[in-house]
Amino acid sequence: MNVVDSSAWLSYFASDKNATVFAEPIEALPALLVPSITITEVFKTVLRQRGEEAALIVTAHMKQGKVIPLDSELAMDAAKFGVLHKLPLADSIIFATSQKYAAVLWTQDSDFKGLPNVRYLAKKKT
């Protein structure tokens, strides 16, 4: 199973230098888990940069994976991981989701660097 962080989704949609690496988990739809918070982050970023139509298109692609809603159990796990690893709120939810499903977390966000089951790629300059 794979979880793709918002930074990796944005890399993929922008077709930047890491996009081909992130295409692997994103295009393997049967194994793709999508924390609902990543939809929020990606929709907000694309909405601000390219408008609502583009934001709807990219999030429709995200919803082809299995969307994982934030329930109370996952929220409490995220809080624990946030404290333990000093993660911001959204990152703690994404990490908790990957841990709950024993999934690999794909990212270029340095907050995740060195955490278990994380596939971190440094952001490449365009």
Select from 103, 104, 94 the least CA-distant residue to 7: 94
**pLDDT score of 52:** 98
What local confidence, expressed as pLDDT, does residue 124 receive? 77
pTM score, whole prediction: 0.95
Q: Which residues of the chain have pLDDT under 70?
A: 126
Two tokens, residue 70: 């934030």
Domain segments of the chain: what residues? 6-120
Of 28, 37, 39, give the one whose Cα is nearest residue 62: 39
* 6-120: CATH architecture: 3-Layer(aba) Sandwich (3.40)
